[in-house]
Chains A and B, each alone.
Chain A
Amino acid sequence: MSGHEHDHDHGTGQVPEGADHFPAEVTARLEPDAKEIIGRYPKPRSALLPLLHLVQSEEGYVSRAGMRFCADQLGITLAEVNAVATFYTMYRRRPGGDYQVGVCTNTLCAVMGGDEIFASLKEHLGIGNNETTEDGKVTIEHVECNAACDFAPVVMVNWEFFDNQTPESVRELVDDLRLGKDVAPTRGPLSLCTWKQASRVLAGFDDGRAGEGVQAGKPSLAGLNLAKEKNWRAPEPGDVPAEVEEGEK
């Protein structure tokens, strides 16, 4: 098992096996949420991506029953939902851990140490890409660029930023997650929420945590801090005429 890579392991293109429908209680509970999501858009079909996040927040992955729920809400077929669910990498095709740990191994992060981090993580946990620890806590995968290159190497847990990581810091991180300790992202809420909770935020339901955490990390402020130190400023609208004349010469 260990070290075995499956790069495109989001299942086959087939609709997964399993129950055809959610239990009646789940359907009844999710239907008002689905209606609210659909109501945001001029056309109902636009709600499909958030609806898939919603069913993922229920089961931790997109099951056959979850797809059927989406199809029923929108009046489209199971095959149409499946075609969309299999296209996007954030939808899990099978159950996974409470914490999805993604190590960026796109070029910049890989060169800065992402490859070493991912190799060390696989060895530490004894699992491979897209596999889950036996306690069901942690799923690991390598991810593509997550728009935090100035914080490389970057690790994402449940799509929250863990910046400037090392193999040691990530081993400690997953150990803490498995022990049930509170773990705080570098730029994010004060503690991690679970995969299901994060999926609900993605479906568009606020968890009231937007105000937590820093407004910006150190690299984000690098230019601003230097400008303040050197007293560099953008021109004020009032300063402009002189510069315009210069440009017109």
Chain B
Amino acid sequence: MTTLTPILSRNWDRPDSFTLEGYRATGGYGALRKALGMEPDAIVDLVKASGLRGRGGAGFPTGMKWGFLPKDNPNPRYLVVNADESEPGTCKDIPLMLANPHVLVEGVAIASYAIRSHQAFIYVRGEVVHVIRRLRRAVAEAYEAGLLGKDILGSGFDLDVVVHAGAGAYICGEETALLDSLEGYRGQPRLKPPFPAVAGLYASPTVVNNVESIASVPGIVSGGAEWFTSMGTEKSAGFGFFSLSGHVANPGQYEAPLGITLRELLDMAGGIRPGHRLKFWTPGGSSTPIFTEEHLDTPLDFESVGAAGSMLGTRALQIFDETTCVVRAVGRWIAFYAHESCGKCTPCREGNYWMVQVLDRLERGQGTEADLDKLLDICDNLLGRSFCALGDGATSPVMSSIKHFRQEYIDHVEKGCCPFDHSRSTVWADRTATTGGKQ
């Protein structure tokens, strides 16, 4: 049986977990001291040996990304932390930064030292004011304690860290759009190559890493690569947050080794809400093809989820029970992609716009069976045909829902309306005494 491994969340039950004092009381900044006594390249090698893969969704090996920085480029190097957490269903980095911003700051200091950067940015989405307050305070505390700034802990290493608030744009979670945004432009993806490692922020060598990836680094430095690989699977090493939301008894953050299954996680979370059963779920946010009951035992690691036809993504497990209309759910996701498409690439901009129209009439019962082919045709013209993965992501819920729930789409067509009572899906639907939610 897989059990939970609270590491990044281990101090979250301390009311002062977000302060420097609270973080230090649980061993915080010990890894930075150790790292500053190592050769920078040795830290890159250590992170490579740990097998840490990016926790922002794509799963690219973090140490390898660091190793791509060209040795002979004279420009300054930058570390940029992607804290623009906006993928529907994804809700791990925000509580992490609220409860434990110092583990991120410590990771930033270690990673910057390892890649020989003296300037780091934390690009955090703007719509979380209190998280931004906490991050800024953590950075200020770290400066005051000599953990950032000039000559960190007497090592001679200098590092400045800027917390930068975004202004509302899902696309800025895409690393090159994020860099354009950080440079003060509209957040639109760049053509790759060149990759950010070669020409990133201000066309300088840049590493862009997710919050959870960087926050995992202090543990790897303290515990060693073997400690990290003792958790997870051979190719998906270590631990991560599994964020359960929706129709589960106890939604929340469950920090566990990669390779745990939804069946195991549901057991821990008290199961599907009483009296209901699992209908569909996303393994890693709305951009990952949906799964059903048949995937309850799929190990949640990069390889197994991929082999089962989806992606591990951000381990954002959105759980929906039998009261949920899949056509409504997918339609709402596509409305999101249409809203958030930056407009640069025609297939994404136009494809999502038209999919909203088609899904909307299908949900209202005014579509036809031919609309399903039309949706799949649009997906075919979208997938792999844009600069970034936003458009690809939009095809995931459409194609997978038609694969698993084609009949439900046809039911809408045949009945001429949505066969579901949406009020039954609400959190208050099953409460007998309505303290809230009475319409």
Given A116-B437, A227-B4, are A111 and B129 neighbors across the interface (CB < 8 Å)? no
Neighbour of B133 across the interface among A210, A235, A244, CB < 8 A: A210
Which of A105, A151, A210, A218 has the most C-beta atoms of chain B within 10 angstroms of its own C-beta? A210
A162–B356 alpha-carbon span in the complex (Å): 29
B213-239, CB < 8 A from A: 222-224, 226-227, 229-231, 234, 239
Excluding A91-B168, A201-B133, 16 further A-B contacts by CB distance (< 8 Å) are A43-B183, A49-B167, A49-B184, A50-B164, A87-B169, A89-B168, A107-B318, A107-B332, A108-B89, A145-B90, A202-B167, A213-B130, A221-B13, A223-B256, A225-B13, A240-B227
Tell me which residues from 151 to 199 in chain A have a Cβ below 8 Å from any Cβ of chain B: 151-153, 156, 158-161, 164, 166-169, 185, 187-189, 198
Residue pair A215, B16 in contact (C-beta under 8 Å): yes
The residue in chain A whose Cβ has the minimal distance to the Cβ of B429 is A113
Q: Which of B185, B245, B437 contacts A108 (CB 8 A)?
A: B245
Instruction: Return the chain B residue nearest A89 by Cβ.
Output: B168
Q: Does B12 contact A (CB under 8 A)?
A: yes
B209 at interface, CB cutoff 8 A: no
Contact of B416 with A by CB under 8 A: no
Residue of B nearest to A56 (CB): B167
B243 x A150 contact (CB < 8 A)? yes
Q: Any chain B CB within 8 A of the CB of A135?
A: no
Question: Are B167 and A90 neighbours in the complex by a CB distance under 8 Å?
Answer: yes
Q: For B187, what are the chain A residues with a Cβ–Cβ distance below 8 Å?
A: 87-88
Contact A90 B95 (CB under 8 A): no
Chain B's closest residue to A120 (CB) is: B439
Chain B residues near A143 (CB, 8 Å)?
Answer: 127
Contact (Cβ within 8 A) B226 A207: no
- Specify which chain A residues have a CB less than 8 angstroms from the CB of B234 in the assembled complex: 247
B427, A112: Cβ atoms closer than 8 Å: yes
Contact of A222 among B19, B185, B269 (CB under 8 A): B269
Is there an interface contact between A167 and B223, defined as CB atoms closer than 8 Å? no
Q: Is A31 an interface residue (CB 8 A)?
A: no
Q: A201-B132, A201-B133 are in contact. Are A222 and B254 (CB under 8 A)?
A: yes
The total number of A-B Cβ pairs within 8 Å is: 313
B252 touches A223 (CB 8 A): yes
* Chain B residues with CB below 8 A from A48, complex form: 184-185
Question: A189 and B243: CB pair below 8 A?
Answer: no
Cα(A134)–Cα(B328), bound, Å: 34
A143 to chain B, nearest CB (A): 7
Q: What is the bound-complex CA distance between A206 and B135, given in angstroms?
A: 11
A244 to B228 alpha-carbon distance, docked (Å): 10
Kindly report which residue of chain B lies nearest to residue A50, judged by CB atoms: B165
Asked if A224 is at the interface (CB within 8 A of a chain B CB), the reply is: yes
Contacts of B90 in A (CB 8 A): 145, 147, 149
Q: Which residue of A lies closest to B356 (CB)?
A: A7
The answer to whether B268 has its CB under 8 Å from any CB of chain A is yes
Contact of B183 with A108 in the complex, beta carbons under 8 Å: no
Given A108-B318, A215-B12, A218-B252, is A83 in contact with B340 using a C-beta cutoff of 8 Å?
Answer: no
Among residues of B, the one whose C-beta sits closest to the C-beta of A209 is B133
Contact A168 B438, beta carbon cutoff 8 Å: yes
Can you list the 7 inter-chain pairs with the closest CB atoms, starting with the nearest?
A222-B252, A166-B436, A219-B252, A88-B167, A149-B245, A48-B184, A89-B168
Among A53, A113, A147, A206, contact of B165 (Cβ-Cβ < 8 Å): A53
Q: A216 and B224: CB pair below 8 A?
A: no
Q: B426 and A223: CB pair below 8 A?
A: no
How many Å lie between the Cα of A158 and that of B251 in the bound state?
25
Given the complex, which residues of A lie within 8 Å of B137, measured CB to CB? 206, 210-211
A196 vs B224: C-alpha distance when bound (angstroms):
47
- Chain A residues with Cβ below 8 Å from B136 are 204, 206, 210
Docked complex Cα distance between A147 and B84 (Å):
10
The answer to whether A47 and B184 touch across the interface, beta carbons within 8 angstroms, is: yes
List B contacts of A209 (CB < 8 A).
133
The residues of B that contact A166 with a CB separation of less than 8 Å are 427-428, 435-437
Can you give 10 A-B contacts (C-beta < 8 A)? Answer: A87-B187, A111-B426, A112-B426, A149-B318, A152-B251, A168-B436, A216-B13, A216-B99, A219-B252, A224-B253
Contacting pair B164 A115 (CB below 8 A): no
List of B residues within 8 angstroms of A7 by Cβ = 339
A144 near B: Cβ within 8 Å?
yes
Q: Which B residues lie within 8 Å of A52 (CB)?
A: 167
Query: A217 contacts the other chain (Cβ, under 8 Å)?
Result: yes
Is A84's beta carbon under 8 Å from chain B?
yes
Q: Which residues of A contact B129 (CB under 8 A)?
A: 158-160, 188, 198, 201-202
A84 vs B168: C-alpha distance when bound (angstroms): 12
A125: CB under 8 A from chain B? no
Q: Which chain B positions have C-beta within 8 A of A249?
A: none
The residue that A216 contacts in the complex, of B98, B163, B181, B436, with Cβ under 8 A, is B98
Contact A106 B133 (CB under 8 A): no
Asked if A115 and B439 make an inter-chain contact with CB atoms under 8 angstroms apart, the answer reads no
